[in-house]
């Protein structure tokens, strides 16, 4: 089965629209738990956002896009 990679521009748009709510809401949700240390706050926020994008959003988007472009 020869599947081509989805268009890079479409993947960039999916990344943008997936990251937008995560970057907007997660820092405020995590702030009460991380205290006033900005480095810890940023590290925790990134530790939550990066796996969501890498292991949930991108594989799901690729799966859907490959079905559409068959």
Per-residue pLDDT of the chain (70 residues; tens, 9 = 90+): 456 778 899 999 999 999 999 999 999 999 999 999 999 999 999 999 999 999 999 999 999 988 887 7
What pLDDT shows up at residue 59? 95
Closest CA to 18 of 54, 44, 57: 57
What pLDDT shows up at residue 5? 75
Predicted TM-score of the model (pTM): 0.84
Q: Is 67 left (phi over 0), alpha (psi -120 to 50) or beta?
A: alpha
Cα separation, 49 vs 1, in Å, equals 32
Cα–Cα distances in Å, from 5 out to 11, 36, 44, 63, 67?
Answer: 10, 42, 31, 10, 12
What pLDDT shows up at residue 3? 63
């Amino acid at each position: 089965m020869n599947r081509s990679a989805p268009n890079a521009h479409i993947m960039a748009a999916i990344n943008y629209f997936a990251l937008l709510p995560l970057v907007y809401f997660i820092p405020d949700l995590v702030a009460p738990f991380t205290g006033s240390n900005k480095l810890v706050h940023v590290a925790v926020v990134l530790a939550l956002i990066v796996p969501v994008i890498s292991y949930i959003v991108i594989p799901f988007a690729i799966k859907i896009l490959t079905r559409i472009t068959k």
